[in-house]
Amino acid sequence: MIGTPSRPTRAVTGWLLVLPATVVLAAFTHLPIVTTLIASLHSRATAIRPARFVGLDNYRSLAADPVFWKVMGNTVAFAFGTVPVSIALALAMALWVNRRIAGRGLLRLAFFLPTMLPMIAAANLWLFFYTPDIGLLDQCLGLAGLSGHNWLGDPSTALPCLMAVTIWKESGFFMIFYLAALQGLSAELREAAMLEGAGPVAYFRRVLFPLLMPTTLFVSINAVLNAFKMVDPLFILTKGGPSNASNLLLYYIYENAFSFNDGATAATLTVVLLGLLAVLAISQFVLLDRRVHYR
């Protein structure tokens, strides 16, 4: 009869089991973060001059750069314009397709279909919508007797156009999580609330939405992270223009790293992005965790 393994043996076995994941995580996450942080403290390397330690000079240069603040403003506006709308729309769609209605399966598929498309393909589809004169939006405006508009070439509409693409693309993805949460709730909750005289609005506010807070916390964190990491549609639709009106932080990092060949500034921007994402994620946990009711 084989005896029970000793405690040191179990500990060694446990560490060996997590070792492959730990190595991968360290090699592709922790090590790049450390090297990026080190690179942000050095100057830009050239063919005739190697990088040298400059301390916080790169961060001071960013703080004095109006383009950086323009990009940061765009990124924050993009997040505030897409995250609440995407979450609200996802919840509304989940509530709708969770009901017993005709064609419910097709409706769920229709809502989820944009999520199945690669972002590049979705951006090309919306590029047809936004094309001046011949695009779908201008064609609809022409039918109404209105003149067309250069949606992506106007600084006042370029960023909202990107927001519309993101909301359309991500709402169906977030709907799946809300739909799964709704299907995990007991039907007796609604029956009990109805017996107590609660109407649909009161039931949603007092019973349903509080029980969905764990899902809302998960969805909101992912939505915020996605908003600050959004880059794909910019390559197709605006490339950050016109005049940086639609430029977002991750695309600005790409421009500095590969278009301007300025690795030091790109590393500094990356550190800023990582710090911003960490602060936002921690803030969401602190602010929303009090309202999360786990069953």
202 confidence band (pLDDT: 50, 70, 90): confident
Q: Count H helices, E strands: the chain?
A: 15, 0
For the domain 56-289, what is the CATH code?
1.10.3720.10
Q: How confident is residue 291, by pLDDT bands cut at 50, 70 and 90?
A: low
Residues forming CATH 1.10.3720.10 domain(s) in the chain: 56-289
- For 255, residues 6+ apart whose C-beta sits below 8 A from its C-beta are 240, 247
* Residue 49 DSSP symbol: S
56 φ/ψ angles, rounded to the nearest 5 degrees: -95, 15
Confidence of residue 66 (pLDDT cuts 50, 70, 90): very high
pTM assigned to the model: 0.87
- pLDDT higher than threshold 60 for residue 293: no
Is residue 292 scored above 70 in pLDDT?
Answer: no
Reported as a pLDDT band with limits 50, 70 and 90, residue 1 is very low
Instruction: Please give the Cα distance from 182 to 96 (Å, whole number).
Output: 11
